[in-house]
Amino acid sequence: MNVSVAPAAGGGGVLRADGEPARAVTDLAAEVRRLEERRPRWVWADTREVYPSLLAAGVRPARCHDLALTEGLLLAHEGRFGEPRSARAAYARLRGLPVPDDPHGPQARQATLFDEEAPEPDADLVAEVHADQLRRVERTADPHRFRLLVAAESAGALIAAEMARDGIPWRRDAHDELLTGLLGPRPVHGMRPARLQALADEVAAAFGTSFNPDSPQQILRAFKTAGVPVASTRARDIRQADHPGVEPLLAYKEMARFYSFHGWAWADQWVRDGRFRPEYVVGGVVTGRWATNGGGALQIHKLMRKVIVADDGWTLVVADAAQLEPRVLAAMAGDGGLARAAGQTDLYQALAQVFGGERDNAKIAMLSAMYGGTSGDAPKLLAVMRRRFPLAYRFVEDAAREGEEGKVVRSWLGRTSPPPSSGWRELVSGPEGGRAARDRGRFTRNFVVQATAAEWALVLMAVLRGLLPDPARLVFFQHDEVMVHCPAEQADEVIAAVGRAAEEAARLLFGATPVRFPMQAVAVRCYADAK
DNA sequence: ATTACTGGCGCC
DNA sequence: AAATGGCGCCAGTAAT
């Protein structure tokens, strides 16, 4: 059963179940809770608009259909990349009305919520767009797969909202201790922390002149004046210089980044009540990976992991997929040899024999194939790969060639790559055309693998969400890694659920495949203990 | 004063 | 000769 939902201000809204007339309710959350027993698929314009208030009321529906996310997937598949994807835009297109632009920028959600032009809550409208989308799904290259993609993307929207609400357990006291140990006590506003200032002073002493080590221009000038010019301010270029200022400068740069990315000001903004609550953007990356809006949740520094600690009596189950992308390639390409290697826990080790006995060689060969790498030993190793794993090799080569020709490519479930930019074709026919073509080839080559890996991870999470016992909660997701916060006594059950979810995700995407997708799951008190 | 871009580097 | 993909975010800087 589908139930279309249009929320209204004040906690009410309009509901419409399939085949029934729309009806207004005064307490939407209560009504959703009541109807959830019948396991409907909730259809709404945008999970980000609807779900937070339901969550606040403690309602966590099992499944939904997010019109905006689905519209984006459909438009891309239909070759209409870039058209407005909101539910209102979709409705306007259906009706031949002026199509509103998508809200964008930091005010995106406010604009969506408070736009005075917004139509009245209308469940009929939601149902109409939904029906249209279902018809369009049937016209995709593989409707069965695309339906899974839509379901997974929509589940991702639920999970993202839930994770933003639940938050990663974050110990501010431990964070402060870590920062103080590295940088010195928290400085007054506008001052450098003591350790950072000391390093800046060391740099100044080494160069015999004071300058701002945060300024790339001033760094370049300082090295030039000292008679040891550096190619850039990249750490590896600075390291080439023979000068006493190199060491303190590199130390400064490293700490300065830490201070500004993960310092006290960051914690003031993002950590509340012992939880770090980032805002995830589902499908924020063209490949279907998630992005974040502030907080930098997908770039948490490894050092920072020691401040992510389970609540008393609780535990963190941390699980990451081992070598996800080559496994995905093996399954997609149907390459028997590679699939056999991907039946092992350590895929690269299983391939070492093929590549001269070195595990590292196997890794370089696979990564070069998936990323389009050509430096170092890559050509030699790729030649081996071409001979030994011809189907996998051809799969990524085909994707690269299509990209170079300006075509779009699709993930396993049907997510479509963006077309080349408007100026690309001219660029390709110009003097630097070969480079532009190869650049795009590398992108599409990687797209098919990265996007399918993202789909596997999304399906994994959707399945896992349904298997978790209450009150265990998904609290973190980073491309191929998930974290569950749960009572300690649930750890074994959660670890088992992760394994089952991984198997189910593989089955849902690829059916019967010899490729294994092992998840290394551990229960730890502190994130830093997971690896 | 505000905005847009760049270089560099963290994560996968 | 060398040529790997996807991001977010910061400070500095240039442009407005």
Task: Give pLDDT tens digits for A193-216.
Answer: 999 999 999 999 999 999 999 999
Joined together, the tokens standing for residue A125 give 């409208």
| Residue A121 pLDDT class (50, 70, 90 cuts) | low
Which nucleotide C1' is nearest A373 CA?
C4
Query: Could you tell me the residue ranges of all domains in chain A?
Result: 2-139, 172-267, 280-323+455-530, 325-450
Q: Which nucleotide is nearest to A435 (CA to C1')?
A: C3
User: Is the per-residue pLDDT at A119 higher than 70?
Assistant: no
**What type of residue sits at position A483?**
M
> Average pLDDT for residues A503-528, to the nearest whole number?
95
How far, in Å, is the CA of A495 from the C1' of nucleotide C3?
43
C1’ C13 / CA A211, Å = 16
The CATH number, out of the four listed (3.40.50.10540, 3.90.226.10, 1.20.1330.10, 3.30.70.370), of the domain defined by the range A280-323+455-530? 3.30.70.370
Q: Give the residue-averaged pLDDT of A181-187.
A: 93
pLDDT-based confidence at residue A104 (cuts at 50, 70, 90): low
pLDDT attached to residue A110: 42
Q: Strand C and chain A: which residues 460-479 have CB closer than 7 Å? A: 479
Mean pLDDT of A26-34: 97
- Phi, psi at A247, each rounded to 5°: -65, -50
When pLDDT is cut at 50, 70 and 90, the band that residue A432 belongs to is confident
What is the arithmetic mean of pLDDT over A291-302?
87
Q: Could you say which nucleotides of strand B lie within 7 A of any protein CB atom? A: 7-12
User: Residue A416 corresponds to which amino acid?
Assistant: T
Q: Please give the distance of CA A288 from its chain centroid, rounded to a whole number.
A: 7
CATH says A325-450 is which class? mainly alpha
At A349-388, the pLDDT tens digits run: 999 999 998 999 999 999 999 998 888 889 999 999 999 9
Average pLDDT over chain A, rounded to whole? 92
Using C1' positions and the CA of A278, the closest nucleotide is C8
Same fold, A172-267 and A325-450: no
Alpha-carbon distance of A168 to A373, in angstroms, equals: 36
Q: What CA–CA distance (Å, rounded) separates A520 from A513?
A: 20
Q: Which of A's residues 389-418 have CB atoms within 7 A of nucleic strand B?
A: none
Does the CB of A254 fall within 7 Å of any strand B atom? yes
A417 sits in which H/E element: none
CATH of domain A172-267: 1.20.1060.10
Instruction: Note the CA–C1' distance, A120 to C12, in angstroms.
Output: 47
A172 has a pLDDT exceeding 90 = yes
Cβ of A286 near strand C (under 7 Å)? The reply is yes
